[in-house]
């Protein structure tokens, strides 16, 4: 998921009311309900998929001509469970299925069928659910509710501006795929890659200084080399956030659920034999930097200038990764329960990292590849069954490690091509380009050397000492795009243009052989492509005198042959305060292959109503 966000759009702006001299307030209330139609989560037919809501209050106050205080507060969540949704997800491997390839189903709303394991010959179809209470109210005041709380001081002569507080800064020229827009982590919990960019960025406490070098008398050196109107932006960000997502995990050791947009539980399979990996679950723990550190902040700088008739930037960032590396830390042997439930087991025995790797690579994997049955694995590997028909399982423990540093440089350029007068109206396109170079980007290995000296691929490659399971590589990214206001010559009644935006992305990872695109999605051989290309197309138009807004966004993953589309209809027939919307989201991709393959269970159509004030 080195490029999770592939789409961006416009969110409805809140109206504002001036309640006193220099003080305005505004806000919006939004409630949606989505109908999921992908049978991977509905089991056929249509089910309630999500019921996301948002309450927002914004304010701005200007106590002096050069001072602005801004605030933006949210309360949001998902009432899916209260609306009676009955989605299911795929969980641990079904130990009674042929070659263990099937996965147990489970309820995404936590209403499971209990955790008692029956005999191996007759396992429960839906052994348990997952906990989704955290989705109802995203109510942590600092992390979830404060979107902006900042003071901005501007020099009367516009030489500098200083902004301090909690807020967001956007960088770059690309929409969606983030090459330079990396100051802030992303929130994927409610719309995954199809969220609006201004709602997905996670704000941080920070300081931003904007300097007009020309007005400060420091621009001569830049202008001498053709860089006019130089401006410098400096970022100091002591608060750290990683990207927010939920991997749906039905094991009692990690019973999390992100609902419809939760990332699916991985298929646990042995790459060499093609068989599933039964009796194994996973517990995930975040291992992250200090949330607030004055001595180890994120530092950023952006030089903006006019050149060659357009605007260019040079960017640099030194911070932390916002996506994790998976690191094995050990395991728990669940003795007396085949479904990983330590609360209903005879005993829970901790295993350290070395023992876990030795047992898995030295006993479990050979037994699986030799065609071992479920009973063989229980008896010869796990030391079960115990009397009374109780069996055993293992919860492997992983850290999601975010402590790797992010070191990135890049630049962007955009230009209105006024000399190109195209189409029946003679409209000029806007060309945009962007590049980024990231040093020592961390990846999990898709092929790793075990403690026994063997080389393993797929799920088994994650069960190794992290010293042998993690690699760092430089990565280069490029984008070229064009925006164009399209007039169709055959549409005689067309009264406004169709806004179109086309982008093409290339991501190069030299020496990127045998790396995972994103752990823990490894079973299908989801390797990182040394050359990865994406294309996007956005088109929007207002019909019926601007009262019916239509937008379509298409994303194509060339290497993985993945396709996704988001279509919106906005109905602006009810004055300035009411905004109904219908939004369709659809994915066509192979499971676990790239970003779109991870999200391919999220097909839905959402009906929402926003009240602005």
Question: CA dist 506 to 434, 473, 484, 515, 554, Å?
Answer: 11, 16, 22, 18, 17
CB 263 within 8 A of CB 245: yes
8-state DSSP, 516? B
Both tokens assigned to 36 = 């999921």
Both tokens assigned to 550 = 């239509």
Both tokens assigned to 590 = 């192979």
Distance from the Cα of residue 95 to its chain's centroid: 31
Residue 276's contacts (CB-CB under 8 Å, 6 or more residues apart) are: 93, 94, 97, 99, 100, 101, 102, 103, 267, 268, 269, 270
User: What is d(CA 408, CA 410) in angstroms, rounded to the nearest whole number?
Assistant: 7
Residue 217's contacts (CB-CB under 8 Å, 6 or more residues apart) are: none
Quick one: pLDDT at residue 351? 95
Mean pLDDT by 10 residues, the chain (613 residues): 44 64 92 92 86 96 95 94 83 92 85 58 72 84 96 96 97 83 93 88 97 96 95 98 91 85 90 92 92 96 97 97 95 90 88 96 96 93 76 93 97 96 93 97 94 91 94 96 94 92 96 89 82 96 94 95 95 93 95 88 95 90
The H or E element spanning position 543 is strand 531-543
Flag whether 220 is in a domain.
yes
Identify the bridge partners of residue 450 per DSSP, sorted by sequence position. Answer: none
User: What is d(CA 308, CA 510) in angstroms, rounded to the nearest whole number?
Assistant: 31
Torsion of CA 285, 291, 296, 300, to 10 degrees: 100
User: What is d(CA 184, CA 168) in angstroms, rounded to the nearest whole number?
Assistant: 7
pTM of the model: 0.91
Residue with tokens 């050397």: 449
User: What is d(CA 277, CA 270) in angstroms, rounded to the nearest whole number?
Assistant: 7
CB 555 within 8 A of CB 536: yes
Quick one: pLDDT at residue 3? 42
Flag whether 302 is in a domain.
yes
Rg of the chain taking only CA atoms, in angstroms: 26
The H or E element spanning position 468 is helix 466-469
E-strand spans in 119-244?
Answer: 146-154, 160-167, 204-212, 228-237
Flag whether 310 is in a domain.
yes
Cα 583-603-508 angle, rounded to 5 deg: 100
CATH of the domain at 312: 2.40.160.10
Count, residues in the chain: 613
Structural domain that includes position 510: 15-80+132-242+289-324+402-612
From first CA to last CA, the distance across the chain in angstroms is 37
520: preceding bond cis by omega (within 30 degrees): yes
User: What is d(CA 334, CA 430) in angstroms, rounded to the nearest whole number?
Assistant: 60
Both tokens assigned to 311 = 């605007």
The H or E element spanning position 365 is helix 365-369
Distance from the Cα of residue 505 to its chain's centroid: 18
User: What is d(CA 312, CA 415) in angstroms, rounded to the nearest whole number?
Assistant: 9
Quick one: pLDDT at residue 520? 86
User: What is d(CA 53, CA 79) in angstroms, rounded to the nearest whole number?
Assistant: 8
The H or E element spanning position 220 is helix 220-223
Identify the bridge partners of residue 361 per DSSP, sorted by sequence position. Answer: none
The helix/strand/coil state of 594 is: helix
HSE-up of residue 199 (Cα within 13 Å, Cβ side):
24
Among residues 38, 28, 6, 30, the alpha carbon closest in space to that of 607 is found at 30
Quick one: pLDDT at residue 345? 86
Flag whether 110 is in a domain.
no
Flag whether 51 is in a domain.
yes
Both tokens assigned to 457 = 């691929």
Identify the bridge partners of residue 50 per DSSP, sorted by sequence position. Answer: 34
Helices (H) and strands (E) in the chain, counts: 8, 30
Flag whether 355 is in a domain.
no
CB 168 within 8 A of CB 137: no
Identify the bridge partners of residue 500 per DSSP, sorted by sequence position. Answer: 484, 539
Flag whether 586 is in a domain.
yes
Flag whether 494 is in a domain.
yes
Both tokens assigned to 575 = 């004055």
Domain count of the fold of the chain: 1
Quick one: pLDDT at residue 519? 85
């Amino acid at each position: 998921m080195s490029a999770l966000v592939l789409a961006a759009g416009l969110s409805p702006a809140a109206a504002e009311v001036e309640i006193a001299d220099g003080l305005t307030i505004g806000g919006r209330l939004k409630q949606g309900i989505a109908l999921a139609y992908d049978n991977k989560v509905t089991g056929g037919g249509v089910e309630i998929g999500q019921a996301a809501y948002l309450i927002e209050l914004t304010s701005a106050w200007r106590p002096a001509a050069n001072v602005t205080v801004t605030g933006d507060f949210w309360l949001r969540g998902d009432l899916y469970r209260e609306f009676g949704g009955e989605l299911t997800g795929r969980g641990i491997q079904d130990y009674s299925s042929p070659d263990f390839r099937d996965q147990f189903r489970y309820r995404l709303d936590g209403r499971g069928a209990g955790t008692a394991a029956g005999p191996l010959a007759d396992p429960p179809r839906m052994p348990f659910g997952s906990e989704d209470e955290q989705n109802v109210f995203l109510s942590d005041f600092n992390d979830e509710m404060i979107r902006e709380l900042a003071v901005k001081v501007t020099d009367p002569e516009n030489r500098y501006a200083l902004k301090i507080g909690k807020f967001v800064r956007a960088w770059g020229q690309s929409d969606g795929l983030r090459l330079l827009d990396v100051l802030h982590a992303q929130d994927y919990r409610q719309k995954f890659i199809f969220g609006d960019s201004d709602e997905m960025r996670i704000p941080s406490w920070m300081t931003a200084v904007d300097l007009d070098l020309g007005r400060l008398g420091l621009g001569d050196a830049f202008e001498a080399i053709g860089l006019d109107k130089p401006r410098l932006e400096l970022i100091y960000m002591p608060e750290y956030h990683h990207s927010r997502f939920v991997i749906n995990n039905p094991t009692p050791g990690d019973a999390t659920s992100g609902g419809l947009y939760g990332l699916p539980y991985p298929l646990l399979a042995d790459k060499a034999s093609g068989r599933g990996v039964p009796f194994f679950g996973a517990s995930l723990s975040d291992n992250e930097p200090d949330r607030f550190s004055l001595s180890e902040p994120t530092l950023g700088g952006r030089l903006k200038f006019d050149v060659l008739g357009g605007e260019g930037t040079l960017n640099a960032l030194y911070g932390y990764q916002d996506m994790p590396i998976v690191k094995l830390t050990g395991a728990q042997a669940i003795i007396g329960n085949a479904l990983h439930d330590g609360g209903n087991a005879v005993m829970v025995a901790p295993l350290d990292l070395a023992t876990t790797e030795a047992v898995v690579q030295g006993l479990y994997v050979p037994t699986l590849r030799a065609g071992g049955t479920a009973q063989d694995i229980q008896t010869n590997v796990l030391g079960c069954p115990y009397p009374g028909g109780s069996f055993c399982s293992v919860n492997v423990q992983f850290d999601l490690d975010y402590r790797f540093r992010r070191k990135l440089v890049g630049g962007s350029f955009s230009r209105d091509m006024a000399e190109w007068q195209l189409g029946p109206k003679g409209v000029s396109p806007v060309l945009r380009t962007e590049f980024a170079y990231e040093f020592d980007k961390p990846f999990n290995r898709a092929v790793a050397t075990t403690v026994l000296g063997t080389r393993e691929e797929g799920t088994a490659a994650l069960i190794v000492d992290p010293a042998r399971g993690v690699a760092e590589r430089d990565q280069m990214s490029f984008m070229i795009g064009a925006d164009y206001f399209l007039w169709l010559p055959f549409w005689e009644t067309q009264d406004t243009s169709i806004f179109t935006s086309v982008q093409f992305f290339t991501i190069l990872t030299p020496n990127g052989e045998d790396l995972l695109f994103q752990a823990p999605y490894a079973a299908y051989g989801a390797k990182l492509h040394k050359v990865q290309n994406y294309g996007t197309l956005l088109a929007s138009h207002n019909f019926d005198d601007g009262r019916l807004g239509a937008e379509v966004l298409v994303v194509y993953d060339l290497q993985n042959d993945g396709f996704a589309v988001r279509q919106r209809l906005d109905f602006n027939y009810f004055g300035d305060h009411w905004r109904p919307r219908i939004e369709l989201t659809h994915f066509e991709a192979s499971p676990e292959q790239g970003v779109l393959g991870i999200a391919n269970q999220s097909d839905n159509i959402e009906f929402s109503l926003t009240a602005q004030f």
